[in-house]
Amino acid sequence: MRHVDFAPLYRSTVGFDRLLTMLDSLAQPDQAQSYPPYNIERTGETTYRITMAVAGFEESEISIEAREHALTVKGEKAEEKDVEGVEFLYRGIAKRAFERRFQLAEHVEVTGASLRNGLLHIDLNREIPEAMKPRRIPLSSDAGENPKQIEAKTA
């Protein structure tokens, strides 16, 4: 029997909450790429935040690009020159380059990004156009009192 893993889709999209929860309930989550670690938070009714742990990276080494319902975050570490007399006994801080992609729902826009204390924060806003929002149609009770004439009487 074939199994479809929706876990990578669930972990890299923003704004498809209900659909992805249903899809995720059908499959067991699997291990996927884990570097750099990140969180996706809902900060308001229509606002989201992606927080990525990018310790050791500077602003000039990170690029963020939003294009056609996709958000791409790339980190390329500049070459470090070896310092004479320094010998690493253990190197646990990753220096490898990364590329992380997130699928964005329709009408989700990136509103800003900041790098503080080794955490990259990307703010998103889901703005549904007014024409696509549901409208409430008021009921009028005067239709029975003064019915509209559809056909005119002939003379």
Q: What is the pLDDT of residues 27-39, one digit of tens each?
A: 544 445 678 889 9
Q: Check residue 38 and give its pLDDT.
A: 92
Q: Is residue 139, in this structure, part of any structural domain at all?
A: no
- Give the pLDDT band (50/70/90) at residue 106: confident
Beta bridge partner(s), residue 116: 119
Whether 91 and 78 have beta carbons less than 8 Å apart is answered as: no
- Separate counts of helices (H) and strands (E) for the chain: 2, 8
Q: What is the pLDDT of residues 70-105, one digit of tens each?
A: 899 999 987 777 777 788 788 777 678 889 988 888
Phi, psi of 61 (to 5 degrees): -100, 0
Count of structural domains within the chain = 1
Whether 32 and 100 have beta carbons less than 8 Å apart is answered as: no
Q: Is residue 149, in this structure, part of any structural domain at all?
A: no
Q: Is residue 15, in this structure, part of any structural domain at all?
A: no
Beta bridge partner(s), residue 102: 71
Closest among 61, 62, 98 to 80, alpha carbons compared = 61
Q: Is residue 5, in this structure, part of any structural domain at all?
A: no
Q: Is residue 99, in this structure, part of any structural domain at all?
A: yes
Q: Is residue 23, in this structure, part of any structural domain at all?
A: no
Considering the entire predicted model, what is its pTM?
0.61
Q: What is the CATH number of the domain that holds 104?
A: 2.60.40.790
Q: Is residue 70, in this structure, part of any structural domain at all?
A: yes
Q: Is residue 134, in this structure, part of any structural domain at all?
A: no
Range of the domain at 71: 36-79+89-129
Most confident range (mean pLDDT) of 1-5, 11-15, 17-21, 55-59 is: 55-59
| pLDDT mean across residues, the chain | 78
